[in-house]
Structure 1
Amino acid sequence: MSLEVRGLTIEISGRRVVDGISFDVPDGARVGLIGESGSGKSLTALALLGLLPGGATASGSIRWDGRELIDLPDRDLARLRGDEIGIVFQEPRTALNPIRTVGRQIAESVRIHEGLGRREALARAVAEAARVRLPDPEQIVGRYPHQLSGGQRQRVAIAMALACRPRLLIADEPTTALDVTIQSEILELLHSLVTDDGMSLVFITHDLAVLSQIATHAVVLEDGRVVEEGPISRLLTAPSSPVTQGLLRDATATLWRPGGRS
């Protein structure tokens, strides 16, 4: 399966915030959407699954395996979410339901999409918790989000997104709220899971150093427009746009300052 985005435009209250962007995510590819705050990358991610906020409208074309997603009825989009396309958000504290155990939240997707019973779904939740390397998975599935650390909550969010083995994962700044050590662990986990399952990946970030650890191709956005795209290796050695050059300077400074990733 592949994702094809053509001329995607997003307007909020008459203001154009994403302006005609196009990119492809071939089967098994790892593509990054990168740009500063306000560049339109997160809105693009939400548009891919029909999750734009109220007052926002999308036009252009988003095709998943040849099927047009823009203006697809909500019930049809709901069948895709979690089953064929998974998404991990930046802040798991807001993505998780505070009054439900994490096990029930991981199990919900397989109950909906695969029709598993409660007991079978809970066993699956334990297996998924182990897969994302949560400690004591049999115990942790009975806890609530507030009882977990930030890194553990993000692992739960990843388990929820991948429980049905989707073919595409959208990760919207999934490490931004984490400290450097936990961030590295989550990136390594995502890399491993995407590789093991042969998934395609759309990874959204403002950090070129982070993106270089998980993606092979990047689409650089500024003010809702594509200003550069190409292999990560080229963007790290010969960026052509001022935006990418600035991102590279920031990445270099992060890598070499005390406590950075070097």
Structure 2
Amino acid sequence: MSLDVRDLTIRIDGRTVVDGVSFEVADGERVGLIGESGSGKSLTALAVLGLLPDGAVASGSVRVDGTEVIGAPDRDVARLRGRNVGIVFQEPRSSLNPIRSIGRQLADPARRFDRLTRRDAASRAIELARLVSLPEPEQIVGRYPHQVSGGQLQRAAIALALAGGPRLLIADEPTTALDVTIQAEILDLFDRLVSELDTGLLFITHDLAVLRRIADRAVVLQDGRLVEDGSVDDLVNRPRTELVRRLVESARATSWSTPTATPADSPDDTVDPDDRNGDAP
């Protein structure tokens, strides 16, 4: 099991912001974590990484590759990052150092985790650039973050997240800052990578159309609580809560008309009336 979250509760200054959330991500499984702004989805991801902000207190259990994160010493949790779990943020500049070349940053995990020589690590950096389909990988590894496009920078951030060979990849709104055409390309890239590498994926988003493109199963958060958990198809075609119905209608009105979702990806319009009027928890 790549990730096992049980009864995760997060409090900040005495206020509960994530309340008893439980879910898992099996090896090679694609799970979407979806909710509106302030639902607690990004805090949940930070708890998995052991990177909660000052003042936040977590309880429950978070196991990454069988290792408990909640309550573990910072040194032990730090060893998991990069090697066992990788993270891709919405803004790639938060992952990449602006004053170091892309290649040197991609080479660092190879030297740290695999003890490669400088030359071999440089070759690994080129392999990673090629893996994420960066153009002219031998040349682009010598460039700095400000010298490449936003889409290329996000590809470099994905390569960095994968550099340590993690079994779990967390993607926190990784396409939100990109235009719709580049969004589609990045989603295709995630789709290919998790299939080729058999990596578990926790994909965080507020956009149901994006979620349907990349995930098989969905966990829905509202006000810090889990309100739905099931297949994405069930979520789209048989929503049980008012929140998910709003997300479906929003995606139907906007995102399903963009390159992130083809017409074949649009939801089934023949929803059972009983499902449309299901009671929200």
Normalising by the smaller structure, the TM-score range is: over 0.9
Question: How far off its partner does 1:256 sit?
Answer: 4.9
Of structures 1 and 2, the one with the larger relative CO (CA 8 A, separation 6+) is: 1
Q: Is the 8 A contact 1:7 1:60 kept in 2?
A: yes
Quote the Cα distance in structure 1 between the aligned partners of 2:53 and 2:69: 16
Shift of the 112–15 alpha-carbon distance from structure 1 to 2, 3 Å rule, reads same
Change (3 A) 1:191 1:8: same
Contact conserved, 2:220 with 2:227, CA < 8 A, in 1? yes
The 3 A distance-change label for structure 1 pair 258 and 221 is: closer
Instruction: Give the drift of 1:142.
Output: 0.9
Aligned twin of 2:239: 239
For 2:129 and 2:260, the matched residues in 1 are separated by 29
Aligned to 1:58: 58
Counterpart mapping for 1:167-182 below 5 A: 167-182=167-182
Q: Could you say which residue in structure 2 is the equivalent of 1:214?
A: 214
User: Which whole-Å CA distance do the structure 1 matches of 2:156 and 2:253 have between them?
Assistant: 31
**What CA distance in whole angstroms lies between the structure 1 residues aligned with 2:110 and 2:251?**
39
The TM-score normalised by the length of structure 2 is: 0.90
On the 8 A contact 1:110/1:164 being kept in 2, the answer is yes
Identity %: 64
Q: Post-superposition shift, 1:133?
A: 0.5
Inter-partner Cα distance in structure 2 for 1:260 and 1:71 = 39
Q: 1:61 to 1:256 in 2, by over 3 A?
A: closer
Cα separation, partners in 2 of 1:81 and 1:225, compared to 1, 3 Å: same
Contact 1:254/1:261 (8 A) holds in 2: no
Cα distance change on mapping 1:140 and 1:225 into 2, 3 Å: same
Q: C-alpha displacement at 1:261, in angstroms?
A: 4.1
What SS does structure 2 have at the residue aligned with 1:16? strand
Following superposition, the deviation at residue 166 of structure 1 comes to 1.0
Pick closer, same or farther for the CA change 1:39–1:209 going to 2, 3 Å.
same
Q: Shift of residue 36 of structure 1?
A: 0.5
37-46 or 9-18, which deviates more: 9-18
One-letter code of the match for 2:20? G
Structure 1 stretch displaced more, 68-77 or 197-206: 68-77
Cα separation, 2, equivalents of 1:59 and 1:258: 40
Matching residue of 1:224: 224
Secondary structure of the corresponding residue to residue 174 of structure 1: coil
1:127 CA displacement: 0.8
Tell me what 1:204 maps to: 204
- Asked whether the equivalents of residues 65 and 84 of structure 2 are also in contact (C-alpha less than 8 Å), the reply is no
Q: Hey, what's the Cα distance between the residues in 2 that align with 1:88 and 1:243? A: 26
For 2:165, the equivalent position in structure 1 comes to 165
Instruction: Please give the root-mean-square deviation of Cα atoms over the aligned residues, in Å.
Output: 1.4
Normalising by structure 1, we get a TM-score of 0.96
The residue matched to 2:254 in structure 1 has which SS? helix
Cα distance in 1 for partners of 2:38, 2:88 equals 19
Deviations 1:189-220 (A, max 9, x none): 01100000111110000001001011000000
Partner residue, 1:39: 39
Q: Equivalents in 2 of 1:210, 1:13: separation in Å?
A: 33
* Superposed counterparts of 1:108-127, under 5 Å: 108-127=108-127
Alignment check: 8 A CA contact 1:254 1:260 kept: no
**Residue 89 of structure 2: aligned partner:** 89
- Indicate the structure (1 or 2) with the bigger Cα radius of gyration: 2
Matched, 1:191 2:215: no
Q: Does 1:132 align with 2:142?
A: no
Structure 1 CA distance for aligned equivalents of residues 97 and 54 of structure 2: 21
Of the structure 1 ranges 59-68 and 155-164, higher mean CA displacement relative to structure 2 is found in 59-68
Structure 1 consecutive aligned stretches of length 4 or more whose deviation exceeds 6 Å: none
Contact 2:132–2:189 at 8 Å: present in 1 too? Answer: yes
Partner residue in 1 for 2:143: 143
Q: Report the Cα distance in structure 2 between the residues aligned to 1:202 and 1:42, rounded to whole angstroms.
A: 11
